[in-house]
Structure 1
Amino acid sequence: MSNAVRIHHFAKSGHAHRALVFAKLAGIAHEAIPVDLGAGAHKSPEFLAMNPNGQVPVLEDGDVIVSDSNAILVYLARTYAPDWIPSTAIGEANVQLWLTLAAGEIAFGTCAARLITVFGAPLEPEFAAAVATKAMQKLEQGLVGRDWLVGDRPTIADVATYSYTAHAPEGNVSLAPYPNVRSWLDRFEALPGFEAMPTTAVGLLAEKGE
């Protein structure tokens, strides 16, 4: 896989899953390189040389290094999968709105709630739950009468918002009130090349369809 991009990841990180699932959906040749967070590999000098923040994912493409999951999505789309990002200014602006949601309410809401329940993160559960509700409400409204968040086909907006939404029940965030979101998750998971992020509790993801 000498011509493949390299994606440094942790299997149960939704941020890392964004990068990996996009590479699979878009048919981008890639090598997935696990990072042992438990052993502190993300704080090693070698890893910090790629990303001083010590976080996954990190993308290597030859001499190019990109960190931050949303930045990786933009880079991969622009370089290898232009169909996944609109060519018009307004289309790209609309994608950016959802990337902002992914980095904002989803990160501090559904992601944080999952960090608390799954990894024991010392965060505030009530605050995470409230922010998660706002994020899910925005997704639900954004999908009214639409199959995808921007335009008539999936884009990196859908990729950026998918992983932590699908795994929201792991953080005790119910998807039952959001029928548009649940239908969208089903469409996303039916895309050719889709590969799920590992679950951390049996049966939790089934809730999104019930």
Structure 2
Amino acid sequence: MILYDYILSPDAYKIRLMAALVGVKLELRAVDVHPGREHESEALRALNPAGSIPILIDGDLILTESAAMLVCLARLAAPAWLGGNDVADAARIQQWLAFSLRLTDHLGGARATEMLVEPGDLPALQAAGTIDLRELEAALTERRIIGQTFLVADRPTIADIACFPYVALAPDGGLSLDPYPSIRLWMRAIRMLPGFIEMPGIHRLHELKPEPVSQLPETV
């Protein structure tokens, strides 16, 4: 498998991370996104007319959407990452994959504006990103109430990998994760998975801070 990759792309990192977690070897081809804009070149637009990264090629199969790449890698090497045969779990995974697009737009947009000096309305992106983080924090807190750490099941799925990078990189867009203990515990759980790999800004340890503690609501 060939991955057209950019080291600072959270979407490309999703694919590198997923491949590492399920034991699939990728041939990485670095793309000069900043400042070279190589992803907009004629050669790469022939593979992906949208002019975006990553691009995954496996024989005659060319994938240009990260969610499809996650499904492909899981189906190929570790089907349990797809959530099993439960209809509800499969639907929840699809819902979180859709939610990850909001994270790309809002948290990713704030990061690109703040760190990469791309054009954008930073306050509006940060406000939308805060809403996303609060929604994710509430969902993960509900999961913890029933004794589970991950978004869909008692084990990680592609839903977790789809959402993880842009959340972990939220501080690059000026959004602190300190107010979200359930998110930080979830990120620690992902970092502890066998095979976890890092990218710039995402480390194995959560900034060497003590493990977050969150008081769960009392159940009646």
- TM superposition score normalised by structure 2: 0.86
Give structure 1 stretches of 5+ with no counterpart. Answer: none
The answer on 1:50 being equivalent to 2:26 is no
> 2:87: which partner in 1?
89
Runs of 4+ residues over 4 Å off in structure 1: 207-210
Rg comparison, structure with higher value: 2
Map of 2:183 onto structure 1: 181
The one-letter code of the counterpart of 1:96 is Q
Equivalent residue, structure 2, for 1:108? 105
Partners of 1:156 and 1:23 lie apart in 2 by 11
Contact 1:6 1:61 in 2 (8 A): yes
* Aligned residue pair count: 202
Does the CA contact (< 8 Å) of 1:174 and 1:208 recur in 2? Answer: no
Q: How far did residue 78 of structure 1 move?
A: 2.1
TM-score for both structures, normalised by structure 1: 0.90
Question: 1 CA distance for matches of 2:118 and 2:209?
Answer: 24
C-alpha displacement of 1:207: 8.7
> 2:37 — aligned with what?
40
Matched, 1:160 2:144: no
What is the alpha-carbon distance in structure 2 between the residues aligned to residue 62 and residue 85 of structure 1? Answer: 23
CA distance in 2, matches of 1:41, 1:111: 20
**Which one-letter code corresponds to 1:89 in the other structure?**
V
Segments of 5+ residues of structure 2 without an aligned counterpart are 213-220
Separation in structure 2 between the aligned mates of residue 88 and residue 74 of structure 1, nearest angstrom:
16
CA contact (8 A) 1:114 1:170 kept: yes
Please tell me whether residue 206 in structure 1 is matched to residue 197 in structure 2: no
What is the percent sequence identity of the aligned residues? 35
Alpha-carbon contact 1:175-1:208 (below 8 Å) kept: no
